Amino acid sequence: MSNPFKQTRKRPGEWIMEWSIRLVASASIVMIFLILLFVMREAATLFVSAEATTEATSTPSAGSNMEPESYNPDAPAEAAASEPDVYNPEAEDPTTTQQQGEPGAPGQFIYASKNPKYPEIYNPDTGLLPEDIDVVAEDQAEVDTTRKTSVLSKLTGDQWQPVGDVPKFGVKPLLIGTLKTTTIAILIGAPLGILAALYVAFFAKRRVREVVKPAIELLAGFPSVVIGFFCLVTVASFIQDITGAPYRLNAVVGGIGLALAVIPIVFSIAEDALSAVPKTLREASLALGSTEWQTAYRVMLPAAAPGVFAAVLLGIGRAFGETMIAIMATGNAPLSSFSPLEPARTVAATIGSEMGEVVWGSEHYGVLFFMGVLLFVFSFGLNAVTELYVKKRLIKKFQGQ
Amino acid sequence: MQTSTSSMPLPKRLIGFFAVTIALTAAVAVLGIILGMVGSFVSNGGGGVTWTFLSEFPRNNNTEGGIWPALAGTTLLVLLMTILGVPVGTATAIYLTEFAKQDSWFARSVRFAVNTLAGVPSIVFGLFGVGFFIQFMGNGIDGWLGTSSFGDGSLLWSAATLAVLTLPVVIVAVEEALRAVPRDLREASLALGATRWQTIVKVVVPNAVTGILTGSILAVGRGAGEVAAILFVGVTYSSESIPSAVTEKFMHLGYHLFVLSTQSPDVDLTLPLQYATTLVLLGLTFLLNLTAILIRSRLRKR
């Protein structure tokens, strides 16, 4: 709505005010750059000063973490022998873990299980799952070489053990976990959101629509901790009852939680797109003798397809970036397993749960920021695709054909 | 708009019935989940929300007592966030509706940036808070003033982080309100000899006050429930007092719930507290969102 009345004379005070408004308006653009710049700046410690970060990595105060400095590369056998003390399988026992993380110790994350038989515990101090233990001994021989290998080869490893004698920053299990939970969330959330939007846009009577639409949009206002809590206490038990899954918290529970976050987004964008389809299309279809449902599914839905596609893309963006639901409901074990009934650990949840206990400036810190850059770039890409590609197609579809 | 369905062959009618039913089922399922969630919180936590629960400090490692500091911390946080974020959001919205030529590259980039900002995962804002506000600005201020209180997580930096996070919410809401101000009003004002700036300050903005209010309320609702972005920017699990300076750490309702439900030594023991906290948090955001939706629907009718 640009002003048609060209202002020729301006008072100096007003001129200043108008330009300061313009300046403030650029804040969003500036913020995008600042986010990228400063998240990258913190991640850059990884790539720039490899030697400095090696120093920092070994500073965590917890006793076992001091080990790396004392490791003698000439005596791998000795190191291996001392292992059992440090990597005590017992550490996976819920009771031990609870002692370590004294109630409310800052930054300590205890994923206490209600069922001691199946602890969904990922111990941040050892970063180990039971099956990893035997692998560690072999790794000791590589202490020296691992330290010197490039950052990239570290990141592409198969294991995520950020706090250990040989920290491993393989993001593969985290990517698998993210993929797993996001896929489940979209498989559940997208159809529900789109079909509900279809119902509200075409089949519901006006009075029903005026209740249903704001009700579903209210779900968007649910804080993600609340959804996470609901999954933790209610959905997890329900899923375990019907599937008999060995782990109470797993990718399905997390996926359902993420789906609850995805549904309102998919719903409102898809509903917008469906309502934006010109009335003439609908009337033409009905005039040709097709029924309401034929019109809805064969005319309106295809016409709004780019918008619906955008809804799904933004839903994906929400699902992979969601942190609290993922921390609370997925079980948080960095497994490289594609099984939906096993726990998963997403990239966002890893940042959320480990950032609090990491030494600022350390290698681990840099890796977490690097994953932040990945999340940012991915969400930026998704948004760019929806903005530049999908919207253009939508406009073309409705105006040109 | 019923067409002659009865003239169709039976299989087609069945498909039609199925097609409508499946859409209806999806809508009902979503509503059912929402009602089930709210119902479970109300029935399990309803009894726990008492005056003492709201007004007491937590005791005994968060296993007894109330949520007063969390409630107060959340309130202070969103107030500070509103002060920092709403003026910027409003100014951006004014620029987009009143000044910008819609197809200029600058207006388009602002719009693109706003949409992008809305899609950035909240955990990335948390990292940004650490990298920019604490490490860069906080340490910078400390080095400059010789203090040591800014280079750590605090109420101020959390509020600043949330202000950036909620910026798109404010911009979209205010922009919608500004667009709802009739063009006639602007033209009448200009015709009477007012300058563009006078028109904006004296005619457009006063008419869009409800919209600015809606934007602020929506932002507050979003900020009150946001945990991931402030996880490492100043929130704390336990506090002896209500923060008295912006450089202090604070408790937060959402984070309190997170701590109670995942980091407490005995999760079952505090389950009633968790439900009650959930109910308070949800009630708060629910009320805020409902208010915004109601104001908005009134605005749209006008």
**What pLDDT sits at residue B268?**
79
Residue of higher predicted confidence among A87 and A226: A226
Tokens of residue B283, six digits: 């009630």
* Contact A11/B at CB under 8 A: yes
For residue A300, pLDDT beyond 80: yes
CATH number of residue B118's parent domain: 1.10.3720.10
Q: B18: distance to nearest CA of chain A, Å?
A: 9
**Domain A172-357 coded CATH 1.10.3720.10:** yes
Shared domain check, B25 and B167 = no
Shared domain check, B175 and B37 = no
For residue A63, pLDDT beyond 70: no
**What pLDDT sits at residue A372?**
92
In chain B, % of residues over pLDDT 90: 35
In chain A, % of residues over pLDDT 70: 69
Helix (H) or strand (E) holding A168: strand A168-169
- Indicate the pTM of the whole model: 0.81
What is the per-residue pLDDT across B43-102, written as a single tens digit (0 to 9) for each?
988 888 888 888 878 877 777 778 889 999 999 999 999 999 999 999 999 999 888 887
Per-residue pLDDT band at A44 (split at 50, 70, 90): confident
Q: A146: distance to nearest CA of chain B, Å?
A: 27
Q: Do B263 and A104 touch (CB under 8 A)?
A: yes
Residue of higher predicted confidence among B160 and A210: B160
Per-residue pLDDT band at A225 (split at 50, 70, 90): very high
Per-residue pLDDT band at B125 (split at 50, 70, 90): very high
Residue ranges of the domains in chain A?
63-154, 172-357
What is the per-residue pLDDT across B16-40, written as a single tens digit (0 to 9) for each?
888 888 889 999 999 999 999 999 9
Shared domain check, B87 and B22 = no
Residue B3 forms part of a structural domain: no
Shared domain check, B141 and B34 = no
In this structure, of A106-110, B84-88, B166-170, B270-274, the range with the lowest mean pLDDT score is A106-110
Neighbours of B62 (CB within 10 A): 22
Q: Are strands A168-169 and B58-59 parallel, antiparallel or unpaired?
A: unpaired
Shared domain check, B56 and B33 = no
Per-residue pLDDT band at A60 (split at 50, 70, 90): very low
Shared domain check, B31 and B102 = no
Angle at B161 (CA atoms; ends B157, B167), nearest 5 degrees: 140
What mean pLDDT value characterizes chain A? 74
Q: Which residues of B68-96 are buried (b: 16+ CB within 10 A; e: fewer)?
A: bbbbbbbbbbbebbbebbbebbbbbbbbb
**What pLDDT sits at residue A139?**
47
**What pLDDT sits at residue A78?**
36
The count of domains in chain B is 2
* Contact A400/B at CB under 8 A: no
What is the per-residue pLDDT across A243-274, written as a single tens digit (0 to 9) for each?
887 888 888 999 999 999 999 999 999 998 88
For residue A194, pLDDT beyond 90: yes
Residue B193 forms part of a structural domain: yes
What is the per-residue pLDDT across B224-249, written as a single tens digit (0 to 9) for each?
889 999 998 988 888 778 888 888 88
Shared domain check, B54 and B35 = no
Residue B1 forms part of a structural domain: no
Shared domain check, B116 and B22 = no
Total CB pairs under 8 A between chain A and B: 324
Shared domain check, B145 and B28 = no
* Contact B76/A at CB under 8 A: no
In this structure, of A163-172, A199-208, B228-237, the range with the lowest mean pLDDT score is A163-172
Residue B2 forms part of a structural domain: no
- DSSP secondary-structure letter at A130? G
Whole domain around residue B17: which residue ranges?
8-46
Query: Residue A303: CA atoms inside 13 Å, Cβ hemisphere, count?
Result: 24
| 3-state SS assignment for residue B228 | helix
In this structure, of A196-200, A371-375, B76-80, B176-180, the range with the lowest mean pLDDT score is B176-180
Report the distance separating Cα A66 and Cα B82, nearest Å: 44
Q: A82: distance to nearest CA of chain B, Å?
A: 30
Shared domain check, B185 and B38 = no
| 3-state SS assignment for residue A161 | strand
**What pLDDT sits at residue A49?**
54
